[in-house]
Amino acid sequence: MNSFAPRLIAWHSRAGRKDLPWQNTRDVYRIWLSEIMLQQTQVATVIPYYQRFLASFPDVHALASAPIERVLEHWSGLGYYRRAHLLHAAARIVVSRHGGVFPRDAALLTGLPGIGRSTAAAIAAFAYGTRGAILDGNVKRVLARHAGIGGYPGSAAVEAALWSEAEARLPQNGMESYTQAMMDLGATRCLRTKPACALCPVADDCVACITHRIGDFPAPRPKKTLPHRAIAVLLIEHRREVFLERRPDAGIWGGLWSLPELSVGEDAEAICRARFDAEIVTAVTLPDIEHGFTHFTLTITPRLCVVKRWPARAQEPGCLWLPLQDVAGAALPAPIKKLLRDRAKPRFGSLGLEFAQVAR
């Protein structure tokens, strides 16, 4: 296996990705930001978010000094919002404890919120050329197939075997190219389905390829039925504005603005009287929205509401009336943003007509 790393490095020089926005730099801030955004998210999705984020927060000092609400606005739609909270917390630590300079050592990088062993190694490799193994989802797939490591990579025993394999294959030099090559191989050749084995630089000694068992490696996640939850949300509109609450920092959609939430069977009018000292009428129940998370599925039932009486806005801490025209730039959960974008479209009939008829 001594030739594995040299073959990958040579392949990367010919065919690897070299024009991504976070490449061709030693700026550790930009590298760190890209690595956090790329956790569980594909490159094509990340690029526009990364570019907008950098335009507003060009360095770690700008990010650390920004309110979390503004950070979440820029993260809205990217998902896994805990990453944004941890990113913000890490930026503040880098500024307050390290003088705005990221640690060079991968072990010290793991002490920052949101940075695990693989992410730290990737940051250190790209920023400083430090020798260290990475093991993201794509790399797990490459190593499992090439070394013939069976089992589900999420299990402790299989993950330990993959880490051992990753460490054993590290080159003495060229860490930046090798690390990017491992990522590129998994993202562009060793795909989950229909891998391009004929274009793979290490196919000649790949166990999965030469034994015609590509589909066996890695083993899929053991099947289990995801739990299901159901909630209702109040779509309270008044004069082309929608009423929002800020969600708690902990839990799903932490810190984002969203529609007031209640149990499916709860009395919306009573909830509004108790929570906001307001009077509403539930006008229409809109079609359910199905949304999937990693560990459960969620059914959201929106209830369109008419305002009869609302207290002064100054009496509503943690609440916001948002003009529907401003929905696109707000820090909202993806399914709620889509719902409100639809509401913002000027149209007759459908939901808009139903609301207008009831509001009379």
Give the active site residues: 35
Alpha-carbon distance 159 to 166, whole Å? 10
Q: What is the dihedral of CA 48, 28, 113, 228, to 10 degrees?
A: 20
User: Can you spell out the DSSP letters for 12-50?
Assistant: HHHHS---STT-S---HHHHHHHHHHTTTS-HHHHHHHH
Which string of b and e fits 69-95 if b means at least 16 CB within 10 Å? eebbbbbbebbebbbbbbbbebbbebb
Q: Are 300 and 285 in contact (CB under 8 A)?
A: no
Pair of tokens at residue 315 = 């009496």
Pair of tokens at residue 198 = 């004929």
Alpha-carbon distance 139 to 143, whole Å? 6
Pair of tokens at residue 136 = 């993201």
Pair of tokens at residue 231 = 């909630």
Q: Taken in order 38, 192, 23, 32, is the CA torsion positive or negative?
A: positive
Q: Are 257 and 243 in contact (CB under 8 A)?
A: no
Nearest C-alpha neighbor of 229 from the set 304, 289, 303, 270: 289
User: Can you spell out the DSSP letters for 75-141?
Assistant: HTTS--THHHHHHHHHHHHHHHHHTT---SSHHHHTTSTT--HHHHHHHHHHHH--------HHHHH
Rounded to 10°, the helix 82-98/68-75 angle is 130
Alpha-carbon distance 47 to 49, whole Å? 6
